[in-house]
Amino acid sequence: MELPDIYYAKPDYVETASGNKVSRKTVLCGSQNIVINGKSVVRDGVMIRGDLASVRVGRQCILDTNVIIRPPFKRFSKGVSFFPLHIGDNVFIGEDTVVNAAVIGSYVYIGKNCVIGRRCVLKDCCRIEDGTVLGQETTVPSFAVYGGNPGVYTSEQPDCTQDLMMEYTRNYYQHFLPGPATPKKSIGLSP
């Protein structure tokens, strides 16, 4: 499956030494606690809350527009405690999704407009359909597909999910290209 090219304005993105393409319109709170391992794409409007606890994102992950990544928390009698969030390799998180999970395994696809509740655990090779709301502390097993509000098991992923997600995230990264230079229009009177 070949993806179409996605063009971005080169001045709007920073490409790191490890190959990450991060939008300048991304909000990285507590950037010293955020690790993105390489060849990942972080689109416009993404917010990663590293100021609450550490956030680790694996290789070749795609965080689409307006995604919010927040480490999970737990209330205790003496206050609130935040815990680190780890996202595995080759993960796609769709636009307008809010993630408050404890762990997201590798080769996971999360659709758009989803809410991943507090301290959820998403095992490797699972899929969350568009618009799904997972309640707090939900565990999604490997190769499971969850959908709906509240999110429930709907079907099973194929055994080749790992290969499919590796190909999908690699293709997305390769087709996420700086746009062709467009001449600036001059504002003036034409003769």
71-111 pLDDT tens trace: 999 888 888 899 999 999 999 999 999 999 999 999 999 99
**Which stretches of the chain drop beneath a pLDDT of 50?**
183-191
Q: What are phi and psi of 165, to 5 degrees?
A: -70, -35
Does pTM top 0.75 for this prediction?
A: yes
pLDDT at 27: 95
* pLDDT number for residue 181: 54
Residue 21, both tokens: 């393409």
Instruction: Quote the pLDDT of residue 183.
Output: 47
Pairing of β 21-23 and β 13-15? antiparallel
* pLDDT value for 186: 43
